[in-house]
Structure 1
């Protein structure tokens, strides 16, 4: 059994605003500690069900450098830094049986969700594959499925959990907080959040064959809405892209992994125009 834990940060219990997840801010260290604790809870859950499992943690927030490594469970390996192949799901190239999305958040435009965004809140307003709107939960679930890995568990606020169940039927969820707004949350005690995550992992792994993630086989028509026309103009420098509106760029990707990489590139190019 091989399990990847993709560790984002906005969906960690207690996180309720940008300053909580931004390096250099006073509250960041506190929430780094909780992120590490929730990751450790997931590691314990995996190894309780499959003692011989290989567990890899892929840092998946901001510059992919957030976990407190001395406090990380020593039985797990960790992937840090970027850019890197498959972004938030780096590590799936070697194969895995299941992936856990820990500390995830709802997609851009989700009313009332804590820190909702898709890849880059400063750049991207929406992403559509074959006309289907997807946030990071859907985009990463589809990539995992393409690579033969089942996304089995999503942790975050209640609206992220609702999105996960809608987008990935059969996935298990843990709600560590209730969203009260873009920068407000009713959170569980940190220790209780960890207990719930650890307890949820074994059943989620057992049910991996019943998960139905979105799949995009063959060519994929990708559309990305950005916030400003100048951002779209930057993206149009990529060969094959075309404008589908003032702030919408279309790209006919030959396959889903290429579409996924293009979304990451849109985020990078768009920031140059912000």
Structure 2
């Protein structure tokens, strides 16, 4: 089995007063083990609703979601699915439960019934992985936003998930905190081979993904590599989405008549194209 996530004709509806809202509309997609996937779309596009289906917080109205071949709509699978796919939310303050960092990271493994000696090892390893070892004895409320989010991620990886789902994890952070968190996530994907699904509205966070899914009105309307997605500057702008700054610059230069590739994503690529 090389698929971590398999979504088949997923539809999710909820009632808002007298009307029925279709938040997810017949979505099918696959995510392979070890992939780094970004899901982008403006507010209300359905991306966070989709994320909540990936560890059985929400159950499909129709269609199926499989996590490591386990059907999320089978309640007997819920516990096992949440061990496979850990979820990191937008506000780290909502995920931190203890008064000391290392106790917070230990909370998940304790709930799994892991023996104390193994918990100790997992906490140390998780804090090392997110580069927060020196803060083990600190109170979470004394940390910066980026540091809190890294502790929240440590709490998830201490449970040894195969997959981490991040629901706009940097939305409330400043640029420095955002970089701290994304550097951590990229490293976990590359070095620990953890499958990462990042729901984001920051296009720079999607540049290094293996694959991007673009959502609009509860549907996946574009999918491909970052180069394939971001060269569609006009289409993305029509959807109300930004593109990476260097892609935008290349697009504007091309519009002005300069012979330059529309497939530029980073500063390095821009420099190499202009001064080969």
Tell me the TM-score normalised to structure 2 length: 0.31
Q: Which has the larger radius of gyration?
A: 2
In proportion to residue count, which structure has more helix?
A: 2
Tell me the TM-score normalised to structure 1 length: 0.31
